[in-house]
Amino acid sequence: MIVVGGEALIDLVPLERPAGALLPRPGGGPYNTALALGRLGAEVAFCSRVSTDGFGDALLAGLRAAGVDLSLVRRGPEPTSLAVPSLAPDGSAAYGFYVEGTADRLFTLPPALPPGARALALGTCSLVLEPGASAYEALLRRESRRGLTTLVDPNVRPALIADPAAYRRRFLERLPYVSVLKLSQEDADWIGGRVDDWLAAGPSAVVLTRGAAGLTVWTASGEEHTQAARPVTVADTIGAGDTVNAALLQRLVAAGPDAVDWPATLAYAARAAALTCSRPGAEPPYAAELDLGR
């Protein structure tokens, strides 16, 4: 089983560019990752705190329909977090947030993960917003020490980060507990630093996504592989990186982080991300939609 921890929120997606009516869509990096894993056929559980409001009910219904285990989800009466993406002409998105007093940021450390858990994925807002951020970090450290494969996607949202220097220090402090660090080029530019230094701190692999330029992996054993992006008509890029997370996790758990076929894994992730980009909002593909032979 793969456990994905973090926020579930509502993206208010503009129907026109640069502005227009807003369409509520399920979102949040961890939520999208769990949804994508379920659609790809992985055994996956979502670990979070979700509002009891109507948005919260809709979020959980989406995960349930994808076959995601919800036994680690706790509910609370506080409202659901909201994100408002602003779409550029190329489909890329910047985000504003409404997160004060919301349910997901009050997450507390669960006593244990299911016995069959083999991997844990964390990222995005849940690693920034306190008090939940400290609870998720404690979960990362505990499960890493227990031997779980861990993936962290910082998915940096500068609008939420009051102290960039403190965020960067905390990012480095987590690396000894991370098996695979996945981040976008924008994340890497904002955080600063070098891939070699990140690998030396603990991860067995660093995966960097570059949008239309594809994605690259560097491993602690000295491998480097690049996969071109799949050509696609882009509706928007919302959820593309989260779909990459899901594809990586599915292959990592199947092979183990030290035995993964990285060229095949990157090709699989690129195909899945392309399908997500071809649709408005975070709509990851189902396993049946992926032509693994091409």
| DSSP single-letter state for residue 275 | H
Q: Is residue 242 flagged as an active site residue?
A: yes
Identified catalytic residue from 242, 258, 261, 291: 242
**208: closest CA among 174, 244, 234?**
244
N- to C-terminal Cα separation, the chain: 27
* Residue 71 · residue 97 · CB < 8 Å: no
Q: Find where tokens 């961890």 sit.
A: 30
275: tokens are: 């399908």
* Residue 221 · residue 261 · CB < 8 Å: no
Helices (H), the chain: 29-39, 54-65, 132-145, 164-174, 185-191, 195-201, 240-255, 262-277
140: tokens are: 């990362």
Task: Please give the Cα distance from 183 to 156 (Å, whole number).
Answer: 9
CA 61 to chain centre: 19
Task: Please give the Cα distance from 60 to 26 (Å, whole number).
Answer: 9
Task: Please give the Cα distance from 176 to 174 (Å, whole number).
Answer: 6
Side chain identity, residue 251? R
Task: Please give the Cα distance from 221 to 251 (Å, whole number).
Answer: 18
Task: Please give the Cα distance from 264 to 143 (Å, whole number).
Answer: 27
The residues annotated as belonging to the active site are: 242
